Chain A
Amino acid sequence: MSLVISQLINGLQSGSIYALVALGYSMVYGIIMLLNFAHGDIIMVGAYAAWFVMVRLSLNPVLAIILAILACTVLGVVIEKVAYTPLRSSPRLSLLITAIGISFLLENLAQRVFGAGAQKVPALISGPAIEIGGQRFSFIAMVTIVVSVVSMALLTFLVRKTKMGKAMRAVSEDMGTAQLMGINVNLTISFTFAVGSALAGIGSILYSCAYPQASPTMGAMLGLKAFVAAVLGGIGSIPGAMLGGFCIGLAEAIVSAVGLSVWKDGVVFAILIVVLVVKPTGILGRAIREKV
């Protein structure tokens, strides 16, 4: 029994990280219909930022966490302004290709600057394992799960209850009309990228705590799996992204626990195929009518 609980915790921990990254995918897709494939690489930049601040600048972990999240946020907005804004009226395919280009650019830039090998990220958060009734809970796993659930709650509040959230929903529904209603579309889109990238920054911190290495390609697979999570939950839906993330994390843990760990990635992408064939809108997604 305790083994089952341990494996569930393992799944929820990696699922939380997928969920945080998936939220960024979902938000960006929701607002400009772009699959931002560079999103996973923002995590990579966040991890390198944390490593840089702690190892090269020898500053303390709290500062490293803040600066890493800040770096991700700024990077997200800069990418949006430089690469995506000029293409907003172009076909969506051009945007998608640009996103893939940015992804490669970031990966290769990191390889050029930091080298191809992995860098060890020192412990950012540490604490004793918690024991409840003989069951051992890793501190980092608990922090990861709690932080991601809280982040999602805050995000839901932001989108549902604040003025900026209302603007985001309006832009996502109809950009032209929102502009006519006096909403600053550019600002709203940049804000969405900032929030999504900040979540990726939080994700990168949690990721670096769980797997303390920064490598140039670390974001690629993570990004793809988070994308699967977003599609599974229903792309564009915030609770859906969360749900999808947890499902993917649990699926991986179960597959590994029964001794098929080599098939882990295969199972995740099989889920993507099944979802796209059976229910392309995902678990919580809603069908959007094509505007004529």
Chain B
Amino acid sequence: MKKFLSIALALVLMAGVFAACGDKPESGGTTDPTPPASSSAAGDTIKIAIIGCHTGEYAQYGLGVKNGATLYIDQLNASGGINGKQVEIVAYDNKADNQEAINAFNRAVDQDGITALIGDVLTGNTIAVGGEAYKINMPMITASATAEAVTYDAETDTVYANIFRTCFIDPFQGEKMANYASEKLGAKTAAIIYETGNDYSVGVKDAFIATCSALGIEIVSEEGYATGDVDFKSQLTTIASKNPDVVFCPNYYEDDGLIVTQAREVGVDAVFMGADGMSGVSGYASAADAEGTLYCSGYAPGSTDAVKAFEAAYTEKYSAETLNMFAATAYDAAMVLCNALQVAEEAGLTAGTDEYKQAVIDAIRDKSGELECITSNGYTFDAHNNPVKDACIMKVVEGTETFVENY
């Protein structure tokens, strides 16, 4: 028995040693292109950090962001960099952990001497890093964190002026679709059916209603349903009796498929509209029922020539596996950031100084409108630093979801 115990203990110890070994190379955060000498940023390179989850469950997002941004910066460096200076990337894996993310950020600031940050990737990590970056007014742009709290603290009514993003936040889609319904479809009346227990649905719906009332679209009916419901006929019968021009359903595609099918059954002939959760709806409703259904999306593969060129360059260099929406918004984020860095460089400021950081922040906010980005024709930012950008309008045509336009 004693022998058994000692062997077991020895095994446990061994396992511990091996586990520690396995951890070691990663625990320091991976620095991809190991900088040969980390002097200050004032040398002949401009250092920016890319922090995100490059391993683990959400690695798809983190790697998409890292690759997308790196792709742009490599292209920029190949064509001469910023005013002759090369842009150097220091990449850190935060393993989707808040503490790791903060450590990585501090190391990037203190040891690497970065001038700006692309990241973080996940919303929670981004809020954690944002708290640190705000203290030192470090320019920061995320390509993927969609929560409102990333750039704005509603409790204290504080806008984090140094933090930007190139992905749109959920409620923005409600505004977009209301504008689209008014401008492109000439809608005068709208009905809504939404999932009441879903923050996403409620947020998009509220934004849609607010924009509708500003545009003079009358909401004739607002119907809710509970999570897991499959029968929407009663609500849709009510909607049918009001005969609206459009029916807005900011829900997920499986529900939307059922809604569209049942709506046609009870005699709703309005155009159906939704947000990016609707992507995939064509698989859950017949082609005839779903015909003409519209939704918006942050990214549509192969939508424009610029997107096609990006996709070709990306797949040539990296795997198509991580080619997602955030790879595209990260490419844009890098473009927006590098443009702002150029403005600061041209002003002759010294990297790392407060004036330099402020110049970069001002330039991101004010000088990004003319850039030819791939997911939007330029970026402008609202009072909460959320981008006012294009969305891809998708339409169901004969059973396939096709890209219509950037709106």
Contacts and interface: CB of A to CB of B under 8 A. Distances in A.
Interface string B215-228: 00000000111101
Nearest to A141: B265
17 contacts: A6-B266, A7-B237, A10-B234, A14-B233, A117-B254, A120-B284, A129-B267, A138-B266, A210-B262, A212-B258, A212-B261, A213-B230, A213-B284, A256-B234, A261-B226, A262-B196, A262-B224
A134 to B, nearest CB: 11
Interface string B121-165: 000000000000000000000000000000000000000000000
Interface string B269-298: 000000000000001101000000000000
A218 B231 CA distance: 12
Nearest to A212: B261
B231 A211 contact: yes
A252 interface: yes
B86 interface: no
A253 B284 contact: no
Interface string B340-378: 000000000000000000000000000000000000000
Contact of B283 (A6, A120, A259): A120
A81 interface: no
B387 interface: no
A213 B258 contact: yes
A252 B226 CA distance: 12
Q: How large is the interface on B (under 10, 10 to 19, 20 to 34, 35 or more residues)?
A: 20 to 34
Q: Which 7 A-B pairs have the closest CB atoms?
A: A256-B234, A10-B233, A211-B230, A6-B237, A138-B265, A253-B234, A118-B254
Interface in A252-272: 252-253, 256-257, 259, 261-262, 264-265
Interface of B: 196-197, 223-226, 228-231, 233-235, 237-238, 240-241, 254, 257-258, 261-262, 265-267, 283-284, 286
Nearest to B240: A6
Interface in A109-131: 117-118, 120, 123, 129
Interface of A is mostly: helix
A278 interface: no
Given A10-B233, A120-B284, A261 B254 contact: no
A256 B286 contact: no
Contacts of B237: 3, 6-7, 10, 257
Contacts of B284: 118, 120, 213
Contacts of B254: 117-118, 213, 215
Given A117-B254, A120-B257, A211-B258, A265 B226 contact: yes
A261 B195 CA distance: 10
A105 interface: no
A192 interface: no
B235 A261 contact: yes
Nearest to A122: B286
A56 B265 CA distance: 27
Contacts of A118: 254, 284
Contacts, number: 75
A261 to B, nearest CB: 5
Contacts of A117: 254
A261 B224 CA distance: 6
Given A120-B284, A213-B284, A261 B234 contact: yes
A3 B196 contact: no
Contacts of B231: 10, 14, 210-211, 252
Contacts of A210: 231, 262
Contacts of B233: 10, 13-14, 253
B226 A262 contact: yes
Nearest to A211: B230
B191 to A, nearest CB: 13
Interface in A267-284: none
A140 B283 contact: no
A136 interface: yes
A110 to B, nearest CB: 16
A141 B230 CA distance: 15
A11 B254 CA distance: 22
Contact of B230 (A120, A218, A259): A218
A215 B240 CA distance: 28
Q: Most chain-A CB neighbours within 10 Å: which of B229, B233, B235, B254? A: B233
A253 B233 CA distance: 8
A257 B238 contact: yes
Nearest to B236: A10
A14 B225 CA distance: 16
